[in-house]
């Protein structure tokens, strides 16, 4: 693709760029804030866009939080939002399971590897689940477990499980992986909230949700259906909800291979990179996936003087 426009400090360029869009999809971490630190000017920039009639949607791959959790986080940082404006991978996974997957009546249960965000969103869609944060799964494998699993015993393998959903799990262990493997082997649909290899924290990187599904991919020789950015299942779900014109929408993100790719493959009118997260200037200017434009930081949009 072409070399992107660099718009920081370019008032006329910024005005022209912003004028092309009615909807802005925002990646969160690395764009609006980093961890618990809200970037200066985030609140004012969102206000500027809203005051100019732009619709704002928060699109995050973080599955550990529910949409309600995200609203609380946004509110705590001084950013007004509603649950309806938030799209998390926990939510896109839940609606994919409840509204897209056609599961037989006796195979409706989801075996979860993940945290409370997934559990809350599954509950809100009335999807039954096991696993997740249940302390019963936070233990070592016992010798008898192997025999029970091998025998397909219902005391350890729930026969109603028809889906395995893998998100970031801070208590991943051998038992959880062994159960997930056997559920998929027995025919369960293999889903991942997102497949980010890493996630940023405190200025460095840690294992991301993709690193939770990686051992299963290794065991199964099968890829999961992923429901976070850059998967277009997430874009389709967002469009299903907001019915926006893709040519008048812009994805804003810090990560070329998730956010920018998400917008490019979704045929959005624009993609805007920011340098406050994972990707570098070199990634944006000469990497395999390039945004239409990029900024040093999101608040440089304030320089448009709109």
**Structure tokens of 267?**
């045929």
Among 42, 45, 64, 304, binds ligand PLP (CB under 6 A): 64
The answer to whether residue 42 forms part of the interface with ligand PLP (CB under 6 A) is no
Which of 2, 10, 22, 254 is flagged as catalytic? 22
CB distance 116 to 64 below 8 Å:
yes
Rounded to a whole number of angstroms, the minimum distance from the CB of residue 86 to ligand PLP is: 11
Among 29, 85, 121, 300, binds Ca ion (CB under 5 A): 29
Rounded to a whole number of angstroms, the minimum distance from the CB of residue 28 to Ca ion is: 6
CA torsion, ordered 158, 159, 163, 167, to nearest 10 deg: 10
Residue 123 DSSP label: H
* Residue 163, number of CB atoms within 10 A of its CB: 24
The answer to whether residue 30 forms part of the interface with ligand PLP (CB under 6 A) is yes
The answer to whether residue 30 forms part of the interface with Ca ion (CB under 5 A) is yes
The answer to whether residue 66 forms part of the interface with ligand PLP (CB under 6 A) is no
Rounded to a whole number of angstroms, the minimum distance from the CB of residue 209 to ligand PLP is: 6
Site for ligand PLP in 8-27 (CB under 6 A): 27
Q: Residue 199: name its binding partner from Ca ion, ligand PLP, none (Cβ under 5 to 8 Å by kind).
A: ligand PLP
Binding window for ligand PLP (CB under 6 A); candidates: 8-16, 60-68, 172-180, 182-190: 60-68
**Structure tokens of 74?**
């946004």
Among 199, 235, 252, 293, binds ligand PLP (CB under 6 A): 199
Question: Residue 190 and residue 184: Cα distance in Å, rounded?
Answer: 6
Distances (CA, A) of 193 to 42, 62, 88, 190, 272: 27, 8, 9, 10, 24
Distances (CA, A) of 235 to 257, 264, 286: 15, 11, 25
133: left (phi over 0), alpha (psi -120 to 50) or beta: alpha
Nearest to 62 by CA among 189, 224, 234, 188: 234
Among 86, 168, 272, 295, binds ligand PLP (CB under 6 A): 168
Is 296 in the active site? no
Q: Residue 193: name its binding partner from Ca ion, ligand PLP, none (Cβ under 5 to 8 Å by kind).
A: none
Binding window for ligand PLP (CB under 6 A); candidates: 54-62, 93-101, 150-158, 213-221: 54-62
CB closer to Ca ion out of 161 and 226? 226
Nearest to 118 by CA among 138, 93, 85, 135: 93
The answer to whether residue 71 forms part of the interface with ligand PLP (CB under 6 A) is no
**Structure tokens of 220?**
């199964």
Q: Which residues contact 222 (CB under 8 A, 6 or more apart)?
A: 184, 190
Site for Ca ion in 221-280 (CB under 5 A): 254
CB distance 115 to 133 below 8 Å:
yes
The answer to whether residue 273 forms part of the interface with ligand PLP (CB under 6 A) is no
Rounded to a whole number of angstroms, the minimum distance from the CB of residue 200 to Ca ion is: 8
The answer to whether residue 62 forms part of the interface with ligand PLP (CB under 6 A) is yes
Residues labelled as active-site residues: 22
Residues that bind Ca ion (CB under 5 A): 27, 29-30, 254
Residues that bind ligand PLP (CB under 6 A): 27-30, 60-62, 64, 168, 196, 199, 208-209
């Amino acid at each position: 693709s072409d070399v992107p426009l660099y718009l920081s400090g370019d008032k006329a360029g910024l005005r022209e760029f912003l004028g092309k869009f009615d909807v802005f999809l925002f990646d969160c971490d690395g764009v609006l804030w980093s961890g618990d630190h809200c970037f200066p000017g985030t609140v004012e920039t969102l206000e500027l866009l809203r005051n100019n009639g732009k619709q704002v949607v928060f699109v995050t791959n973080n599955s550990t939080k529910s949409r309600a959790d995200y609203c609380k986080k946004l509110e705590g940082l001084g950013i007004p939002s509603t649950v309806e404006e938030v799209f998390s991978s926990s939510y896109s996974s839940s609606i994919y399971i409840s509204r897209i997957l056609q599961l037989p009546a006796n195979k409706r249960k989801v075996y979860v590897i993940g945290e409370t965000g997934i559990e809350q969103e599954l509950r809100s869609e009335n999807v039954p689940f096991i696993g997740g944060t249940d302390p019963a799964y936070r233990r070592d494998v016992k010798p008898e477990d192997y025999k029970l699993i091998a025998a397909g015993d219902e005391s350890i393998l729930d026969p109603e499980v028809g889906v395995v959903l893998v998100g970031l799990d801070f208590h991943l262990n051998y038992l959880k992986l062994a159960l997930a493997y056997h559920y998929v082997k027995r025919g369960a649909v293999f889903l991942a909230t997102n497949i980010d290899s890493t996630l940023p924290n405190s200025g460095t990187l840690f294992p991301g949700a993709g690193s939770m599904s990686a051992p299963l991919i290794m065991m199964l020789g099968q890829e999961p259906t992923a429901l976070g950015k850059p998967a277009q299942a997430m874009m389709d779900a967002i469009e299903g909800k907001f019915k926006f014109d893709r040519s008048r929408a812009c994805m804003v993100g810090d990560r070329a291979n998730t956010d920018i790719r998400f917008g490019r493959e979704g045929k959005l009118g624009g993609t805007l990179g920011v340098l406050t997260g994972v990707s570098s200037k070199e990634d944006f200017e000469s990497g395999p996936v390039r945004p239409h434009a990029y900024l040093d930081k999101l608040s440089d949009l304030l320089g448009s003087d709109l």
